[in-house]
Structure 1
Amino acid sequence: MKIAILGHGTVGSGVLKIIQDSALHPFEKDLSVKYVFVRPEKVDQNELFVDDYSTILNDEEVDVVVEVLGGLEPAKTMIIDALKHGKNVVTANKAVVARNLKEFDEIAEENGVKFYFESAVGGGIPWIINLERALRIDQIDSIHGILNGTSNYILDTMTKTGQSFDKVLKDAQDLGYAEADPSADIDGYDIENKLCISVDIAYNTFVKPGDHLLKFGIRNITDEDIKYFKKHNLIVKLLGRSFKKNNSFNFVVEPTLYTPGQIEAGIHDNYNFVGLRGTTIGKLTFNGQGAGEFPTAHALVQDILDLKANNVHLKRDFNEEFSLDNTTKKKNYVVRTSADLESKLPEYDIQKDGNYYHIAAIDTQKIHDVVNELSSDDKGIFFACISGGAYNPWIEK
């Protein structure tokens, strides 16, 4: 099986190393990389490197294109071109998959090829394949997870060390966990992409990222917030979750508080965690390395091996329609703000503790709307949901 890799960054180089070391891995012995697409200035660095994509598209020996360029373009166009030229495509690019999964899948089917994206959610965690396995038997009504290793590293390190957000973010950037522009990680966009893809498969629908989906990240968290939560025996994580009931579903990315002993509280460093709830399997969870050279490359090569073995993934047409409704779930929240929160929520039971407010039984849409409104007066506002099952110090005294 001949392979072309689009990109030679961290993940692309990892795929190349795994396949070239295939003597150590008997399942990969028939795999070989024929091309690596790179920028023109890098072409002379390796005999496999090319900068003319048509060379790859027009080579009938190329069976699989591995897209690891990242971003929306030219990745989208190059994926479509590969599929239309009869090439199977595997990708780790969650941003482009989240926005174009239905289109990619339809084009792949029209051209008799496959589009696989195991590594787009959870990196090295075998999440997509196990979600599909559960769906062969069960209806899935909820998904939740710590789906971004960078934000988890930041929160975990702040909790362990008491250091400031800015200091830990800089350390994450120095370690290569965070980009120079960390917005996707710390503002929840990366989790949004991954949750969209998971929801698409779980509910057989198509949900595109956008402002209509609730997101609140960790950009405003402080070391004082961490101390306050620890004082009340709570640990904060950045979580994505969705729940489906009848003809509607909710979707939210937000900081969430857990009690030590809950599984989510024990996800450390840059690890990911993701789980589902199915009709007969109940709760099923996975955790592991969510990013990096070899965990992500491992998942990409697993997709290639599935293609080689003709292992067919679960067929979804993404045509089910559900309404988005974030008002059905009532949860408890903690808000830290210097703005006048109480005047915005006169009908709610609110307890004040300095600049921290506990709000009982408020729906997710309402609290996000209020926080967004108050952010014009308090640009550093921060809030977190208290997870179900967590000890609530403001109620259980």
Structure 2
Amino acid sequence: MFNIAILGFGVIGNGVYEVIEENKERISAVFGSSVGYTRDTSIRIKHILDKREFLGHPLERRITNDFNKILSDSSVSVVVETLGGTSPAFEFSKAALEAGKSVVTSNKEVVDKYGDILLETADKHGVSYLYEASVGGGIPIIGPLESCFYSNKITRIAGILNGTTNYILSRMKEAGISLEDALSEAKGMGYTEANPHSDLAGLDSARKLGILAGIAFNRYIPHEKITFVEGIMNVKQEDFELAAKLGYNIKLLAVAELIDRRAKLLVAPHLVKKGSLLSAVNGVFNAVSITGSTLGEVVFYGQGAGSMPTASAVVNDVITIFKFKPKAICRQNLEDGFLLSESEFGDVPLTLSNGSSYRVL
């Protein structure tokens, strides 16, 4: 039996429990068939850190508000962090790594701000720090980016990395409604955070872009270093009809492109050619296009948010740790001059007949 602890039993934390419960036999078979275990190979949630009690929940007796209880339990070898926010998520994650426990997280804010420290701490203590669920929800993108492009130099990443804004833009185009009305719909569907500013301003996409670009270009790139970040607040409903006449759709894209030995990083609404894969991504779905020097373009597509897709990615990371014990992959610090300034981008925005201006992919 493999014991884990979950920090935070909200939507994602409880989703982790549900994924494990629904897939017990499949998970056990992964270990049994590969390494020939005769003992119990199930994953057991031994502790759950939360201030709430969850009376009536099957795991109510495993709830604790004492993190030290988890830290001191030598039988727990993996800690799942689904707290959200940066504190105490960072402090708890670092303490767990220092105690010799691997950590899995879905928390993009922590990975963005403290990923360098946590990966180096994991490396120092011989444990793993995995964060597949921090970008793209259930889409497997970080793992492939780290391990499936050895024979390629990644030259470009371009993606729809935020389901909320993609839903809003899709509804503006399909239903001919305003941004405000589409946002109201998204709130009613449960697709937005209580405060949607991070989504609408492009900050959520920027955090995810920093993580992906950091892996592709072997550098720590916090989102504040990204050269240009613009959200969707200036997109007008009439822009979609004008763009369509020119053969384009409008999407909020996060783009990282290697130009010689430097990189262009930005988040902004783009005109995307109709018929392209990214143009066809609608609703809350995400898609990431990766271009390799020898492979060319590949696209990863799927649900970029939601408790079960995200929890699925978390559980897969847990299984990966128990099965393979992957080493932490550390990257170099971001040096001055690596990121191009906006004036060095070299792209020419296209201006629609109403004066709205967009970059073109």
Q: Tell me the TM-score normalised to structure 1 length.
A: 0.82
| 1:212 CA displacement | 5.5
Worse-matched range after superposition: 199-208 or 19-28: 19-28
Let me know the Cα RMSD of the aligned residues. Answer: 2.0
C-alpha contact (below 8 Å) 1:144/1:240 kept by paired residues:
yes
Q: Deviation digits for residues 51-103 of structure 1, max 9, x if unmatched?
A: 11111111111111111111111111111111111110000111110111111
Match of 1:92 in 2: 106
Seen in structure 2, the aligned counterparts of structure 1 residues 212 and 203 have a Cα distance that, compared at 3 Å, is: closer
Task: State the distance in 2 between where 1:211 and 1:246 align.
Answer: 19
2:359 aligned partner, one-letter code: C
| 1:221 CA displacement | 2.0
2:355 aligned partner, one-letter code: Y
C-alpha contact (below 8 Å) 1:98/1:197 kept by paired residues:
yes
Match of 2:51 in 1: 39
Task: State the distance in 2 between where 1:186 and 1:19 align.
Answer: 33
C-alpha contact (below 8 Å) 1:118/1:300 kept by paired residues:
yes
Instruction: For residue 86 of structure 2, give the secondary structure of its aligned residue in structure 1.
Output: coil
Instruction: For residue 224 of structure 2, give the secondary structure of its aligned residue in structure 1.
Output: coil
Q: Does 1:79 align with 2:80?
A: no
Task: State the distance in 2 between where 1:194 and 1:169 align.
Answer: 21
Match of 1:281 in 2: 295
C-alpha contact (below 8 Å) 1:257/1:384 kept by paired residues:
yes
Please say which structure displays the higher CA radius of gyration: 1
| 1:316 CA displacement | 3.6
Residues 377-392 of structure 1 correspond to what in structure 2 (within 5 A)? 383-387=357-361
Task: State the distance in 2 between where 1:53 and 1:314 align.
Answer: 24
Task: State the distance in 1 between where 2:7 and 2:299 align.
Answer: 32
| 1:313 CA displacement | 5.8
1:327 aligned partner, one-letter code: S
Q: Does 1:196 align with 2:232?
A: no
Residues 20-169 of structure 1 correspond to what in structure 2 (within 5 A)? 20-25=21-26, 26-27=29-30, 29-40=41-52, 42=54, 46-169=60-183
| 1:249 CA displacement | 1.0
Q: Does 1:16 align with 2:24?
A: no
2:168 aligned partner, one-letter code: I
Match of 2:200 in 1: 186
| 1:15 CA displacement | 0.4
Instruction: For residue 253 of structure 1, give the secondary structure of its aligned residue in structure 2.
Output: strand
| 1:292 CA displacement | 0.6
Task: State the distance in 1 between where 2:172 and 2:254 align.
Answer: 20
Match of 1:315 in 2: 329
Instruction: For residue 33 of structure 1, give the secondary structure of its aligned residue in structure 2.
Output: strand
Match of 1:346 in 2: none
Task: State the distance in 2 between where 1:182 and 1:160 align.
Answer: 22
Instruction: For residue 309 of structure 1, give the secondary structure of its aligned residue in structure 2.
Output: helix
Q: Tell me the TM-score normalised to structure 2 length.
A: 0.90
2:211 aligned partner, one-letter code: I
With CA pairs under 8 Å and 6+ residues apart, which has the higher RCO, 1 or 2?
Answer: 2
C-alpha contact (below 8 Å) 2:289/2:300 kept by paired residues:
yes
Match of 1:298 among 298, 308, 312: 312
Q: Deviation digits for residues 307-341 of structure 1, max 9, x if unmatched?
A: 111153683433464521133333232457xxxxx
Q: Deviation digits for residues 141-197 of structure 1, max 9, x if unmatched?
A: 221111111111111111111111111111111211101210111111111111101
1:210 aligned partner, one-letter code: E
Percent identity between the two aligned chains: 34
Q: Deviation digits for residues 345-367 of structure 1, max 9, x if unmatched?
A: xxxxxxxx3x416xxxxxxxxxx
Match of 1:366 in 2: none
Seen in structure 2, the aligned counterparts of structure 1 residues 135 and 327 have a Cα distance that, compared at 3 Å, is: farther
